[in-house]
């Protein structure tokens, strides 16, 4: 697909998704503007719905706002606070460990370097890209989750089998100035219109541009 068509679709989605709910991590970033809170909420969001992640994140940050505060929090208390999210026990252990590392090795500040973020156990490429993009406001990153991976393949922009491969493939297709917006646009649209199963093709504003690759039943 030509880059001009990619840009056209992204611009259409920008207008269409404006009134759709923000992803939980984007809400946290917009309201609290703190890379640490973006990092923690992103870890909690893994395999957890936004309607659970957001209020749980808000609850936690009312009690502990900084890496030091979470590093010093008893693990049992942290587990209790974030219990609504899936895999809360493992996530609590990782959040506490990462907080301790941030305090000890990074002067109480989340590193603004992708490779340094990847050193934290429990932080993969998606989380590191989200922190770099939405936490630190850095350009040059595309955060790819299941929505971005799914929509990119349905649109025929990429032909990939994993989010990591999608990330690198998208960088060849999407003009760099739009990288920042890809995750937020595709997550919002993927949650509300282009669902994993039975997407709403009948009300899709980019339907005529979409070859619907891999789409079976649709609405």
Distance (Å) of CA 32 to CA 7, 50, 69, 179: 30, 17, 16, 22
| 13, 185 contact by CB (below 8 A) | yes
DSSP character for 194? Answer: S
Kindly list the structural domains of the chain, giving each domain's residue range(s) and its CATH number in brackets, ordered by start. 3-21+141-209 (1.10.1670.10), 24-135 (1.10.340.30)
* 3 — pLDDT class (breaks 50, 70, 90): low
Give the per-residue pLDDT at 60: 97
pTM summary value: 0.91
Give the per-residue pLDDT at 32: 75
Give the per-residue pLDDT at 1: 63
* 193 — pLDDT class (breaks 50, 70, 90): very high
Instruction: State yes or no: pLDDT of 166 exceeds 80.
Output: yes
């Amino acid at each position: 697909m030509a880059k001009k068509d990619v840009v056209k679709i992204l611009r259409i989605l920008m207008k269409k998704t404006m009134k759709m709910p923000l992803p939980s991590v984007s809400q946290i970033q917009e309201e609290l503007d703190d890379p640490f809170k973006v990092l923690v909420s992103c870890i909690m969001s893994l395999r957890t719905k936004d309607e659970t992640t957001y209020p749980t994140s808000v609850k936690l940050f009312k009690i502990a706002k900084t890496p030091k505060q979470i590093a010093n929090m008893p693990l049992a208390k942290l587990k209790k606070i974030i219990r609504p999210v899936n895999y809360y026990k493992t996530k609590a252990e990782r959040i506490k460990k990462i907080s301790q590392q941030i305090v000890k090795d990074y002067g109480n500040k989340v590193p603004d370097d992708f490779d340094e973020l990847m050193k934290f156990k429990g932080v993969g490429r998606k989380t590191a890209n989200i922190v770099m993009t939405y936490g630190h406001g850095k350009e040059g990153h595309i955060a790819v989750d299941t929505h971005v991976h799914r929509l990119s393949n349905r649109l025929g922009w990429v032909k990939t089998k994993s989010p990591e491969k999608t990330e690198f493939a998208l960088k060849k297709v999407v003009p760099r100035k739009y990288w920042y917006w890809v995750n937020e646009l595709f997550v919002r649209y993927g949650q509300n219109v282009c669902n994993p199963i039975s997407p709403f093709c009948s009300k899709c504003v980019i339907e005529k541009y979409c070859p619907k690759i891999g789409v079976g039943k649709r609405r």
